């Protein structure tokens, strides 16, 4: 069974791969991306299109958390791991 952190990291990683430059999904179950340290960077490092990222993130998670995810505050300077942590917290609060 996947943990809340696993679900959050997979959702963020998948959303990042479709909305950013230089991110690729390299495996599933668990989801892996390259570069493997991508979460340590800010969104700006990968030229992430944040509206696309947010839309994909919402679509990768249960509908019950959609409004909480849409309400998260992040911008180009946000370190991606902080979003993973926030998504994990939202999932755990379900």
Q: What are the extents of the domains in the chain? A: 4-84
The pTM of the full predicted model, rounded to 2 decimals, is 0.94
Ramachandran region, residue 78 (left: φ > 0; alpha: ψ -120 to 50; beta: rest): beta
The C-alpha atoms of residue 15 and residue 11 are separated, in whole angstroms, by 6
- Say yes or no to pLDDT of 2 above 90: no
**40-86 residue pLDDT tens:** 999 999 999 999 999 999 999 999 999 999 999 999 999 999 999 99
Q: Are 39 and 31 a contacting pair, CB within 8 Å?
A: no
Name the phi and psi angles at 26, rounded to 5: -115, -10
**Would you state the torsion angle of the CA atoms of residues 43, 74, 30, 56, taken in this order, to the nearest 10 degrees?**
-90
20 closest CA partner among 32, 34, 8: 34
Which H or E run contains 69?
Answer: helix 66-70
Mean pLDDT of the 21-33 span:
89
């Amino acid at each position: 069974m996947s943990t809340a952190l696993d679900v959050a990291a997979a959702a963020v990683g998948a959303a990042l791969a479709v909305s950013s430059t230089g991110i690729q999904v390299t495996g599933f179950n668990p989801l892996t991306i390259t570069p493997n340290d991508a979460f340590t960077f800010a969104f700006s490092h990968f030229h992430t299109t944040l509206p696309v990222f947010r839309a994909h993130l919402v679509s990768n998670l249960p509908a019950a958390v959609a409004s909480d995810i849409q309400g998260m505050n992040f911008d180009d300077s946000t370190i991606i791991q902080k979003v993973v942590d926030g998504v994990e917290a939202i999932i755990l609060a379900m």
